[in-house]
Amino acid sequence: MSKSLPTSRGKPIALIQRIGEEDLEDHIFYSSPKIRREIERRWQRYLKDGKTVPIDELIEGRGKAGSPHMNSCG
């Protein structure tokens, strides 16, 4: 794994590290404030109501847990 440490006036300012495609997708997905809010909102609703959505409904976009459009986070 390659790493670089850029400096300014001799002090580190960032760490640059090579990551794989899957890790990049995870980083982009979980660093989105909108997606993180949606995940947290749905988690809190699950804790409150204890309801889940079957995976086949989620994939088909028919899930009704919290939003009429389950896959409209992005």
* Sequence ranges of the domains in the chain: 32-74
Reported as a pLDDT band with limits 50, 70 and 90, residue 1 is low
Q: Is 15 left (phi over 0), alpha (psi -120 to 50) or beta?
A: beta
Rounded to an integer, the average pLDDT of 35-59 is 83
pLDDT at 35 over 80: yes
For residue 17, what are the β-bridge partners?
Answer: 3
pLDDT in tens, 60-73: 776 554 444 444 44
pTM score, two decimals? 0.42
Higher pLDDT, 10 or 45: 10
Instruction: Specify the long-range contacts of residues 70-74, CB closer than 8 Å, at least 24 apart.
Output: 73/32, 73/34, 73/35, 73/38, 74/32, 74/34, 74/35
